[in-house]
Amino acid sequence: MFKDLDPILHSQLRLAIVSLLMNGKEAEFTLIKEKTNATAGNLSVQLQKLKDAGYIDVIKQFKENYPQTVCKITKEGMKAFDAYVKAIQTYLQSSNKKQKV
């Protein structure tokens, strides 16, 4: 009845990152840090976990002689997010059904 939840997305910070990227498809490291209130170190670790899972691409480049890190969601990441949302919905739907006693 209940679907397994993706352990990669079940982390609050990783879920927040992917949610941000689902809205805009890509975002700079500084924007993600600002929106999630994460420390730079923790954010870097969580981005690496998402990258290792194939859910995001991390592009390091220079913009006006300053380093810039851009994160983009992959098709795999979009599929994983959609599956995660559907799995959560099964939990919510179950709690909304009245139990017969």
In this predicted structure, what is the pLDDT of residue 98? 52
Q: Which CATH number fits domain 12-91: 1.10.10.10, 3.20.10.10, 3.30.70.1560, 3.40.47.10?
A: 1.10.10.10
How does DSSP assign 12-28, residue by residue?
Answer: HHHHHHHHHHHHHSEEE
Q: For the whole model, what pTM was predicted?
A: 0.88
Residue boundaries of the structural domains of the chain: 12-91
Contact residues for 69 (Cβ-Cβ < 8 A; gap 6+): 28, 29, 58, 59, 60
The string of pLDDT tens digits covering residues 18-75 is 999 999 899 999 999 999 999 999 999 999 999 999 999 999 999 888 999 999 999 9
Distance CA 93, CA 65 (A): 51
